[in-house]
Chain A
Amino acid sequence: MALSYLRSSSSRSVNLLKPLSSSLPLRRPISTDTTPITVETSVPFTSHQCDAPSCSVETNPKELLTFFRDMALMRRMEIAADSLYKAKLIRGFCHLYDGQEAVAVGMEAAITKKDCIITAYRDHCTFIGRGGTLLEVFAELMGRQAGCSKGKGGSMHFYKKDSNFYGGHGIVGAQVPLGCGLAFAQKYSKDETVTFALYGDGAANQGQLFEALNISALWDLPAILVCENNHYGMGTAEWRAAKSPAYYKRGDYVPGLKVDGMDALAVKQACKFAKEHALKNGPIILEMDTYRYHGHSMSDPGSTYRTRDEISGVRQERDPIERIRKLILSHDLATEKELKDIEKEVRKEVDDTITQAKESPMPEPSELFTNVYAKGLGVESFGADRKEVRATLP
């Protein structure tokens, strides 16, 4: 990254940093330090039909440490989910997000909880970013009552109404037109908020995406379509599925921006830019160049369509957590030990939450019938022979 020359502990670059007023022994408490720091993103933005934002990103120690902690938490959570799945405590489907954490945290840093986010099924970390708790995640994954969807949704269906997280969708691409609907409602209520509709490189080839693009451009909706391009649609590499893998250009008349999705600060900058753009000029596409370490889901080893070298290469060169760690260390915002302590703390938190989640009970059998319709519109369900069992449910 651009600050690599700072890695040697003796030198400290003058141009890019405002010097911290404390010297080492009197370290200011980092968790509240909001002294601005400017960081250059290492990969420039590529734009389509618009002017790219600047590569200089404003941040501060508090934010960087929050990024680090949040991403470490997400990483730990996903790895713990992997083990739980293998232990058969999580059943069904489980699509892990590790490697892509920078997109979730970077996006949150640029927006408020009044903005809406809607995504596909790789939603555990996005949910955490929106303020979801670890307990809700693990309980939902294991299908327990304490889960965010009361155990009825599972891995693919996390929702959080109070922070405008509209989920959690299984059918590929289906959430994007929905996102446009959310954006319309936001525009109508004039509350200066936007919607981020996330989808993957596989979903980019769905017809409904183009329908959504046309609608949002035609009606000037504050919709930001974010393609989380991890380069593989399940097992199919992007070049085998798309004639043009430049997803940020797919909008044609809709402007687009290609972003290094492994750099949380670049993501933050892009989302901030996109929000301003969407409120003034209508839809914009963001393509996040990111990568997932796990396979598509837990039933995919992830190594039949890509080499282990590729995976470990990305992990070494572009890992989002390592990038923030290096940034923190090179700016002297925390010591290695402090960062390691954060990671240990996060690990403990995850382990404790899993224990707690395991104690949550399974949903009541009567929950099978609730919420099919709104309350008051009964669902009749009868047993094998209509004469035997009949239950009219609330």
Chain B
Amino acid sequence: MALRNIIGKRIGNGIGLVGRRSLSTSTSDVENRNAKSMNLYSAINQALHLALETDPRAFVFGEDVSFGGVFRCTTGLADRFGKARVFNTPLCEQGIVGFGIGLAAMGNRAIAEIQFADYIYPAFDQIVNEAAKFRYRSGNQFNCGGLTIRAPYGAVGHGGHYHSQSPEAFFCHVPGIKVVIPRSPRQAKGLLLSCIRDPNPVVFFEPKWLYRLAVEEVPEHDYMLPLSKAEVIRQGSDITLVGWGAQLSIMEQACIEAEKDGISCELIDLKTLIPWDKETVEASVRKTGRVLISHEAPVTGGFGAEISASIVERCFLRLEAPVARVCGLDTPFPLVFEPFYMPSKNKVLDAIKATVNY
């Protein structure tokens, strides 16, 4: 089958699902008053507007954020709040994050944008060695809790090696920071506001494939969603699926198909990767006895490994089948081979069936 068809199918499925229904229907965690239909980048934009509005010491900076950013997440901020609070930085990720840590250490809310998560690595040292350890090593005298780093992550269909990476696992290995990934516009707005206002440094990865693709009713008021609380977005009894970000829509399609074969799937959105909500996932696994984790990042050493190990520790006797991980392959993120690399709906479906029939 021509590669292009496969690519088209993935996009088609992506549009079809996420456009049609919102994933956060199972719990009404936010009042729906004055909800407006908008996509992911608009929701994030709204969150940033609110963050700067409510805190006069909040700043947004990064490469090209002034005109609105390459994904339009920062439109209107510079005009509204001025160049002193919303400004462009030169092309220097390490400098951007280090600068953000310093700004936050002075009690400000520093919202740094890294243009693509693939470019975050020059800043890795600053995040791991400075941001994560600042409070700890100063005996709580200083902290950079006001720091939030936002970066678009994940596959986008044609991103290739350096515009598609999912580096969340590297950051999940660092005590001292939080890693948060939203699945939809409504979630993104609430989670981002929580991240900005959380008194710890947070890395917020935004699924770039969903920037325009995901459209949802998002309330216009200021609301926050709790961090470190996972959400069961689909109830089921045969198997628990755990995921985050754009991958959830793929997993949901697999769940719907599995339903046709009589398999009842429970789908959990982790939302915060560290510190992650072990209790919710454990409770679900105790109910179903089977768990499958799916993420775009390569399988070896991906965050699915941590979830798998923790669940086995907690629920060993309850498990009916080995923990399944449906993830990206252990290769650099390919350009032409992307459809083969990705943990697609069929791979997830295969794994669901194999796990249930174990």
Chain A interface residues (CB < 8 Å from chain B): 91-93, 143, 151-154, 156-157, 170-173, 202-203, 205-208, 233-236, 240-242, 304-305, 362-363, 365, 367-369, 372, 379-381, 383-388
Q: Which of B204-263 touch A at CB < 8 Å?
A: none
13 further A-B pairs in the complex, CB-CB below 8 A; given A363-B337, A381-B330, A384-B351: A92-B159, A171-B119, A171-B162, A206-B92, A207-B94, A233-B91, A236-B63, A240-B88, A362-B3, A380-B330, A381-B329, A385-B354, A387-B354
Q: Mark B320-351, 1 if CB is under 8 A from A, else 0.
A: 00101010011110111100110000011011
Q: With a 10 A CB-CB cut-off, give which of B118, B331, B348 has the most chain A CB atoms.
A: B331
| Known pairs A93-B163, A156-B162, A171-B162; A379 contacts B337 (CB<8 A) | no
Are B331 and A143 neighbours in the complex by a CB distance under 8 Å? no
Bound-state Cα–Cα, A173 to B3, Å: 33
Interface SS of A by simple majority: loop
Bound-state Cα–Cα, A240 to B161, Å: 29
Does any Cβ of A come within 8 Å of B67's Cβ?
A: yes
| Known pairs A203-B91, A236-B64; A372 contacts B158 (CB<8 A) | no
Specify which chain A residues have a CB less than 8 angstroms from the CB of B348 in the assembled complex: 384
Specify which chain A residues have a CB less than 8 angstroms from the CB of B355 in the assembled complex: 385
Bound-state Cα–Cα, A153 to B332, Å: 11
Specify which chain B residues have a CB less than 8 angstroms from the CB of A383 in the assembled complex: 347, 350
Candidates B90, B158, B329; contact of A241 at CB < 8 Å = B90
Q: Which of B99-145 touch A at CB < 8 Å?
A: 118-119, 121-122
Specify which chain B residues have a CB less than 8 angstroms from the CB of A367 in the assembled complex: 337
Are A91 and B94 neighbours in the complex by a CB distance under 8 Å? no
Specify which chain A residues have a CB less than 8 angstroms from the CB of B16 in the assembled complex: none
Query: Which chain A residue has the least Cβ–Cβ distance from B3?
Result: A362
Bound-state Cα–Cα, A41 to B297, Å: 53
Q: From residue A202, how far is it (CB to closest CB) to chain B in Å?
A: 4
Specify which chain B residues have a CB less than 8 angstroms from the CB of A304 in the assembled complex: 67
Does any Cβ of A come within 8 Å of B160's Cβ?
A: yes
Does any Cβ of A come within 8 Å of B19's Cβ?
A: no
Q: Which of B147-175 touch A at CB < 8 Å?
A: 158-163
Candidates B121, B159, B326, B330; contact of A372 at CB < 8 Å = B330
Are A207 and B330 neighbours in the complex by a CB distance under 8 Å? no
Q: With a 10 A CB-CB cut-off, give which of A91, A143, A240 has the most chain B CB atoms.
A: A91
Specify which chain A residues have a CB less than 8 angstroms from the CB of B94 in the assembled complex: 207
Are A91 and B158 neighbours in the complex by a CB distance under 8 Å? yes
Does any Cβ of A come within 8 Å of B95's Cβ?
A: yes
Are A172 and B91 neighbours in the complex by a CB distance under 8 Å? yes
Q: With a 10 A CB-CB cut-off, give which of B95, B118, B119, B336 has the most chain A CB atoms.
A: B336
Candidates B92, B158, B330, B354; contact of A384 at CB < 8 Å = B354
| Known pairs A384-B350, A385-B324; A365 contacts B122 (CB<8 A) | no
Are B160 and A205 neighbours in the complex by a CB distance under 8 Å? no
Bound-state Cα–Cα, A379 to B332, Å: 12
A–B complex contacts, Cβ < 8 Å, 20 sampled: A143-B336, A152-B334, A152-B335, A152-B336, A153-B335, A157-B161, A170-B118, A171-B162, A207-B92, A236-B63, A241-B88, A242-B90, A368-B337, A368-B341, A372-B330, A379-B331, A386-B322, A387-B354, A388-B350, A388-B354
Bound-state Cα–Cα, A151 to B334, Å: 10
Are B162 and A368 neighbours in the complex by a CB distance under 8 Å? no
Are A207 and B158 neighbours in the complex by a CB distance under 8 Å? no
Specify which chain B residues have a CB less than 8 angstroms from the CB of A156 in the assembled complex: 160, 162
Candidates B64, B119, B163, B340; contact of A368 at CB < 8 Å = B340
Specify which chain A residues have a CB less than 8 angstroms from the CB of B337 in the assembled complex: 152, 363, 365, 367-368
Specify which chain B residues have a CB less than 8 angstroms from the CB of A235 in the assembled complex: 64, 67
Query: Which chain A residue has the least Cβ–Cβ distance from B326?
Result: A384
Q: From residue B106, how far is it (CB to closest CB) to chain A in Å?
A: 23
Bound-state Cα–Cα, A240 to B334, Å: 34
Specify which chain B residues have a CB less than 8 angstroms from the CB of A386 in the assembled complex: 322
Specify which chain B residues have a CB less than 8 angstroms from the CB of A362 in the assembled complex: 3, 336
Q: From residue B285, how far is it (CB to closest CB) to chain A in Å?
A: 17
Bound-state Cα–Cα, A323 to B92, Å: 36
Query: Which chain B residue has the least Cβ–Cβ distance from A385?
Result: B354
Q: From residue A96, how far is it (CB to closest CB) to chain B in Å?
A: 17
Are A363 and B350 neighbours in the complex by a CB distance under 8 Å? no
Bound-state Cα–Cα, A304 to B334, Å: 31
Are B334 and A384 neighbours in the complex by a CB distance under 8 Å? no
Bound-state Cα–Cα, A236 to B122, Å: 20
Bound-state Cα–Cα, A92 to B162, Å: 10
Are B91 and A241 neighbours in the complex by a CB distance under 8 Å? yes
Query: Which chain A residue has the least Cβ–Cβ distance from B357?
Result: A385
Are B329 and A92 neighbours in the complex by a CB distance under 8 Å? no
Bound-state Cα–Cα, A173 to B331, Å: 24
CB-based closest 6 A-B pairs:
A384-B351, A385-B354, A170-B162, A205-B90, A143-B336, A368-B337
Bound-state Cα–Cα, A234 to B90, Å: 11
Are B340 and A365 neighbours in the complex by a CB distance under 8 Å? yes
Q: Mark B56-69, 1 if CB is under 8 A from A, else 0.
A: 00000001100100
| Known pairs A171-B162, A383-B347, A384-B347; A205 contacts B92 (CB<8 A) | yes
Query: Which chain A residue has the least Cβ–Cβ distance from B341?
Result: A368
| Known pairs A206-B91, A207-B92, A383-B350; A368 contacts B3 (CB<8 A) | no
Candidates B90, B122, B163; contact of A208 at CB < 8 Å = B122
Specify which chain B residues have a CB less than 8 angstroms from the CB of A240 in the assembled complex: 88
Q: From residue B36, how far is it (CB to closest CB) to chain A in Å?
A: 27
Specify which chain B residues have a CB less than 8 angstroms from the CB of A388 in the assembled complex: 350, 354
Are A385 and B335 neighbours in the complex by a CB distance under 8 Å? no
Bound-state Cα–Cα, A304 to B326, Å: 42
Specify which chain A residues have a CB less than 8 angstroms from the CB of B119 in the assembled complex: 171-172
Q: From residue B241, how far is it (CB to closest CB) to chain A in Å?
A: 12
Are A202 and B91 neighbours in the complex by a CB distance under 8 Å? yes
Are B329 and A368 neighbours in the complex by a CB distance under 8 Å? yes
Bound-state Cα–Cα, A205 to B350, Å: 48
Q: With a 10 A CB-CB cut-off, give which of A151, A208, A236 has the most chain B CB atoms.
A: A236
Are A368 and B88 neighbours in the complex by a CB distance under 8 Å? no
Specify which chain A residues have a CB less than 8 angstroms from the CB of B350 in the assembled complex: 383-385, 388
Specify which chain A residues have a CB less than 8 angstroms from the CB of B64 in the assembled complex: 234-236
Specify which chain B residues have a CB less than 8 angstroms from the CB of A236 in the assembled complex: 63-64, 88, 90-91
Are A368 and B331 neighbours in the complex by a CB distance under 8 Å? yes
Specify which chain B residues have a CB less than 8 angstroms from the CB of A205 in the assembled complex: 90-92, 95
